[in-house]
Structure 1
Amino acid sequence: MGLNETPSADRVHIGFFGKRNAGKSSIVNKITGQELSVVSDVKGTTTDPVYKAMELLPMGPVMIIDTPGIDDEGSLGELRVKKTRQVLNKTDVAVIIIDAVAGKAVSDEELIKLFEEKTIPYLTVYNKADLLIEEKKPQSENEIYVSAVTGKNIEALKEKIAVLAPTEDNKLRIVGDIIHPSDFVVLVVPIDKAAPKGRLILPQQQTIRDILESDATAIVVKEYELKETLENLGKKPSLVITDSQVFAKVSADTKRDIPLTSFSILFARYKGLLKEAVKGVAALENLEEGDTILICEGCTHHRQCDDIGTVKLPRWIKNYTGKEFQFAFTSGGQFPEDLSPYKLVVHCGGCMLTEREVKYRQKCSVDQKVPITNYGILIAYMQGILKRSLEIFPAILEELNEEDKAI
């Protein structure tokens, strides 16, 4: 991601679904005005989901996803269909493409049922309208007849997608709603081997941008510069935000009357995971020797020798509990459908995942009664500073029951 690009996770994800040869790729190419997907008369030309980040009027920054046919066959076909279904977990608007001549198939009806179960806004698009002997009319506002060959109703289709796309109106800010213009916000950013050379990681970039958009001042320091910076600042900062890995040191160097939290906790709220993650962290006390903990990383970065997810967290959990556990790890878009082997799920901040995908993972955990928490909340809990790091969210503390507040 370039510094001037909208992060993938903050783009509206528009998924195109349907049977093989219904014209999904042709429609995608027509809507985007680009040869984004390979088009062929041969069934199954699209073998993996194709992702394209772009600006699409009238919506703005979007992620277009062209998927393999939902009716693909054979052992490879089953894997492709599985990938197509996984795309649903991150889709904000679903577009099902149906061959207007052939009409709806059973697989199309099953897809629509999935959209409804997952509460995904969707459009039913009948392609190849130019081949119809007799013109047909849509049966509802969410249906439209188009032609990828002639371009018929393609602009109208884009307008319909835009109506269904989520807007920024009800979206939480990362930090902008809890600070004010002219506030000072200090960000503690360790520079270690895991930090990308020459740049800040995505949550840090996004948080700084949100602070600046709030007309506040962002002051960025390394962990061993914090104490001196606070002494020389001349003004009490409204908030200190730290990388979770140095939570203990930052807490020790920050006076109790200065609000303190972490990037990971801010992103738990931003992605809709905060309340469930706070409730889930207490499960750490009930784990038994040999239990399996699933640690989920939303990105696929190269693992360093002291990686937080695969090395530091398991070590800290062992030191805190005094017990030996089994650990399983996932990264990127991987997330197991069956969570029964796990006694706790520990998720990253989710900066590379859409809000919908994070909430899907949360729902999987809740439905299967497997506690879920996140990196920052777990670390703050183990270091005895969780309550302090949540005081900037009084509504969350108020919602939690007395047992949860005890943590």
Structure 2
Amino acid sequence: MSLNSTPQSVRVHIGLFGKRNAGKSSVINAITNQDAAIVSEVAGTTTDPVFRPMEILPIGPCVLIDTAGLDDVGSLGELRINKSLDVLSKTDIALLIVDSSIGLSEEDLSLIEKFKVKKIPHVLVLNKIDTVENQAEVLGETKKLAKCPVACVSATNKIGIENLKQEIINTLPEDAGDFKLLGDLINAEDIIVLVIPIDKAAPKGRLILPQQQVTRDILDHGAIAVITKEDSLKETIANLNKKPKLVITDSQAFYKVKEDTPDDILLTSFSILFARQKGDLNELVKGAYAINNLKDGDKILVAEGCTHHRQDDDIGTFKIPKWITEKTGKKLTFDFTSGITMGKNLEQYALIVHCGACMMNRAAMMARIEKAKELNIPIVNYGILIAYLNGILDRTLDPLKILESEKLLQTVE
């Protein structure tokens, strides 16, 4: 895909961290071979994390994240540091930038430990290497202390940049940014029917990102995409000369679509496909069954990964609370959050209901799931929850061919 056509959520996210004036912005400019970031000798030029979508050969489509210095000072500096550390949750690979003439600090070593605890692949970048005479000695000592891959560069003089790119490639997991969506579940010439409601919540003149990505994935794998609305699904299937292999629907249309999709045709939703691609499917399935354990007075967090204009019957703030309340018959309290974090004091919640995460990368969604697991809070996404509430969760998981989920369903039921 080109720079403009690759969604940010499927790009490799490369976070740059380090102390003020270590040269993070200069490294970004050297990697991209352009003046993408502001460079200044004044400490603390970068204040908030800055996300820069790039196409970098030979890495490919990625997002470079420039962060504030981890040695910032004062109450405002502490807020900047916390924002920089928040970036860890969406980082596929971290670059720790260190001034070679100063060497590793306690802050640097502490951050390396955070990388390791969070299992984030990382490379230590010794910047300004041209300013030290005993380069081999500095490199050897740094490797001994850091115990991670190290690349020596001079960002301002463009020294060692190609070696740094290669080190990034060597350190990235092979499947980074390439988690399966649909392609491994279908074959060439299969007919896949996409059910896309066009209601007041649908953006005018275009499809939403999950619908676009699934359509593209079908075409990339040589299958045939047929698009229809929920009220014409039955006629669409009847008019096809070949039986569809799979129907994929917007989760909100499950109630009608399940009735109009014959039992011998596989059925799932866009949101469930993204649960598989972006998160831990088994953990999210367990979260659906957890609504049976809700009690009067429990608090539920409904979290979304992006902000958008909300309609009167918005799925997150209106429909999800209504459906859960009807299913459980309990007196529940619902809180809502959207954006880059799920908020604080998560331990107060009995359940987290999350959106499909189409605007988030896998690292960000997995960080949220791991946080929920750490606090022993069940978490489920919209599509899986809605399928469960409609009594068809087992059917909607069948197309994914994930034995672990089938075993899980048997155990829980």
Q: Could you say which TM-score interval applies, normalised by the shorter chain?
A: over 0.9
Pair 1:205-2:212 in alignment: yes
User: What whole-Å deviation, never above 9, does each CA across 1:379-403 have from its counterpart, x for those lacking one?
Assistant: 1111111111112234133331633
**1:283 counterpart residue number:** 290
**Alignment partners' CA distance in 2, 1:3 and 1:30:** 18
- Correspondence list, 1:266-281, <5 A: 266-281=273-288
Instruction: Give 1:238's aligned amino acid.
Output: K
Deviates more, 1:116-125 or 1:297-306: 297-306
Report the CA distance between 1:341 and its aligned residue.
0.7
The alpha-carbon distance between structure 1 residues 399 and 324, as it changes in their structure 2 partners (threshold 3 A), is same
- Correspondence list, 1:38-187, <5 A: 38-137=38-137, 138-139=139-140, 140=143, 142-168=149-175, 171-187=178-194
| Cα pair 1:173 1:210 within 8 Å, conserved | no
**Alignment partners' CA distance in 1, 2:64 and 2:177:** 22
**Alignment partners' CA distance in 2, 1:351 and 1:321:** 28
| Cα pair 2:394 2:406 within 8 Å, conserved | no
Instruction: Give 1:403's aligned amino acid.
Output: T
The percent identity for this pair of structures is: 53
| Cα pair 1:271 1:359 within 8 Å, conserved | yes
Deviates more, 1:130-139 or 1:341-350: 130-139
One of 401, 405, 408 as aligned partner of 1:400 = 408
Instruction: Give 1:270's aligned amino acid.
Output: Q
Report the CA distance between 1:4 and its aligned residue.
5.3
Instruction: Give 1:146's aligned amino acid.
Output: V
Report the CA distance between 1:100 and its aligned residue.
0.9
Report the CA distance between 1:73 and its aligned residue.
1.4
**Alignment partners' CA distance in 2, 1:163 and 1:338:** 38
Instruction: Give 1:38's aligned amino acid.
Output: I
Q: Which runs of 5+ in 1 are unaligned?
A: none
| Cα pair 2:12 2:176 within 8 Å, conserved | no
The alpha-carbon distance between structure 1 residues 156 and 172, as it changes in their structure 2 partners (threshold 3 A), is closer
Report the CA distance between 1:130 and its aligned residue.
2.1
- Correspondence list, 1:211-222, <5 A: 211-222=218-229
Pair 1:23-2:29 in alignment: no
**2:9 counterpart residue number:** 9
Instruction: Give 2:299's aligned amino acid.
Output: T
User: What whole-Å deviation, never above 9, does each CA across 1:313-359 have from its counterpart, x for those lacking one?
Assistant: 11111222222311111212112354211000111111111111111
Deviates more, 1:56-65 or 1:3-12: 3-12
Deviates more, 1:318-327 or 1:290-299: 318-327
| Structure 2 SS opposite 1:373 | strand
Report the CA distance between 1:252 and its aligned residue.
0.9
Deviates more, 1:53-62 or 1:383-392: 383-392
Q: Which runs of 5+ in 2 are unaligned?
A: none
**Alignment partners' CA distance in 1, 2:361 and 2:355:** 13
Report the CA distance between 1:60 and its aligned residue.
0.8
Higher helix share: 2
The alpha-carbon distance between structure 1 residues 58 and 170, as it changes in their structure 2 partners (threshold 3 A), is closer
Residue-pair matches, total: 405
Pair 1:240-2:239 in alignment: no
The alpha-carbon distance between structure 1 residues 3 and 295, as it changes in their structure 2 partners (threshold 3 A), is farther
| Structure 2 SS opposite 1:391 | helix
The alpha-carbon distance between structure 1 residues 88 and 390, as it changes in their structure 2 partners (threshold 3 A), is same
| Structure 2 SS opposite 1:114 | helix
Report the CA distance between 1:3 and its aligned residue.
10
Report the CA distance between 1:167 and its aligned residue.
3.4
**Alignment partners' CA distance in 2, 1:386 and 1:402:** 12
**Alignment partners' CA distance in 2, 1:236 and 1:160:** 48
Report the CA distance between 1:284 and its aligned residue.
0.6
**1:377 counterpart residue number:** 384
**Alignment partners' CA distance in 2, 1:47 and 1:167:** 33
Instruction: Give 1:53's aligned amino acid.
Output: P
Q: TM-score, normalised by structure 1?
A: 0.95
Deviates more, 1:395-404 or 1:89-98: 395-404
User: What whole-Å deviation, never above 9, does each CA across 1:144-184 have from its counterpart, x for those lacking one?
Assistant: 22112222212211221122233348944211111111111
| Cα pair 1:296 1:348 within 8 Å, conserved | yes
**1:254 counterpart residue number:** 261
**Alignment partners' CA distance in 2, 1:75 and 1:4:** 38
**Alignment partners' CA distance in 2, 1:16 and 1:23:** 10
The alpha-carbon distance between structure 1 residues 105 and 327, as it changes in their structure 2 partners (threshold 3 A), is same
